[in-house]
Amino acid sequence: MRVIGLPEIRDAATRPLVFDSVRAALIAHSEGRTTSPPPIHLAFPDAEGDCHVKAGHLAGSPHFTVKTASGFYRNEARGLASNNGVVLVLDATTGIPTAVLADEGWLTAWRTAAAGALITHALTPPEIREVAVIGTGLQAQLQISWLHTLRPLTRVQVWGRRPEAAERLAAALRGQDINAGVEQVITAPCVIAATAATSPPVRDLSSAIHITGIGTDMPGKNELPPELFKAASIIATDDHDQCLDHGDFGNAVRSGHAGESADTPIGTILRDGMARTGLTIADLTGIGAADAALASAVLMALTPVLD
């Protein structure tokens, strides 16, 4: 069994490779060609930690994966990263463990960035080049940076609860040649939320014609005002059951602002496109099949062709 470290993974996981494998996984998932059983969740309240285990397989793929991702929030005070993880890749024909990708959580960060950017790009009219981001963490930065790869942005509004964190993100984006600045009031037509909020940090999103939310990864989280879903002409979800269980789509359904079957699979929109009017909302909770597709693609990129 091979152990592959982050430097090698970084070399292999180019943005085109990540976009291609995540797009393929989302489309396959919408067509029912994936296996994504309910994840395992372990809590370590004494250590302020938790751990999620997600397995996935894409029909026809030579590999399947078991991904373990942990978040321990006292690590920072120890000078350690909060998030850690490894992806175990197994052969889908023999069940034999093929490799461990010691990715320190980066593959999850990239597949989340790619999935969000793909659906934001697909549902936002092509002429729109101004976006707002709610949230100031790594994933907020990645959502903007990866969207900028698909569609060069002329202006990014950064909204954060803590002004200094918002300024830090804006500066980091400017360092990537993206024209970003901190704003108190969001006026952009395209809004991306990437927070760990348990209640919506911004209530007024009246400028938006498209909103992507990627932060509601477990029960109890809520970053988009549920009433927004009432006005949405398209509600796109990466996984119907997960988004209903713990996504903002589920929050909207439970508060009576959306019907339980009002959503469309993101994969269907990526495959076929979709005529849009009014407000569109995408809700992403992360699918195991995207982990599987990306890990398999990385492993194949790192495996010399023998012929």
Tell me which residues touch a copy of itself (CB under 8 A): 1, 3, 35, 37-44, 47, 49, 51, 53, 55, 57, 64, 66, 68, 70-72, 75, 78, 80, 83-86, 88, 90, 92-97, 100, 102
Instruction: Give the residue with the Cβ less far from a copy of itself, 42 or 171.
Output: 42
CA gap 65, 4 in Å, rounded: 14
Note whether 173 and 156 are within 8 A (CB). yes
Instruction: Give the residue with the Cβ less far from a copy of itself, 40 or 185.
Output: 40
Smallest distance from a copy of itself to CB 53, Å: 5
CA gap 182, 166 in Å, rounded: 6
Smallest distance from a copy of itself to CB 241, Å: 15
Instruction: Give the residue with the Cβ less far from a copy of itself, 44 or 241.
Output: 44
DSSP codes joined into one string, 149-196: HHS--SEEEEE-SSHHHHHHHHHHHHHTT--EEE-SS---SEEEE---
Smallest distance from a copy of itself to CB 211, Å: 31
Q: Any residues with CB less than 8 A from the CB of 147 and at least 6 apart, and which? A: 116, 117, 120, 121, 131, 153, 192
What do you get for the CA distance between the two ends of the chain, in Å?
22
Instruction: Give the residue with the Cβ less far from a copy of itself, 17 or 51.
Output: 51
Sheet of 155-159: strands edge to edge?
180-182, 155-159, 130-134, 190-193, 210-213, 279-283, 232-237, 263-265
Smallest distance from a copy of itself to CB 299, Å: 16
Instruction: Give the residue with the Cβ less far from a copy of itself, 70 or 251.
Output: 70
User: Phi/psi class of residue 80: alpha, beta or left (left: φ > 0; alpha: ψ in -120 to 50)?
Assistant: beta
Instruction: Give the residue with the Cβ less far from a copy of itself, 64 or 229.
Output: 64
Written as six digits, the tokens of 137 are 């963490």
Smallest distance from a copy of itself to CB 259, Å: 30
3-state secondary structure of 272: helix
Smallest distance from a copy of itself to CB 176, Å: 29
Instruction: Give the residue with the Cβ less far from a copy of itself, 97 or 152.
Output: 97
Smallest distance from a copy of itself to CB 72, Å: 4
Written as six digits, the tokens of 63 are 């590999």
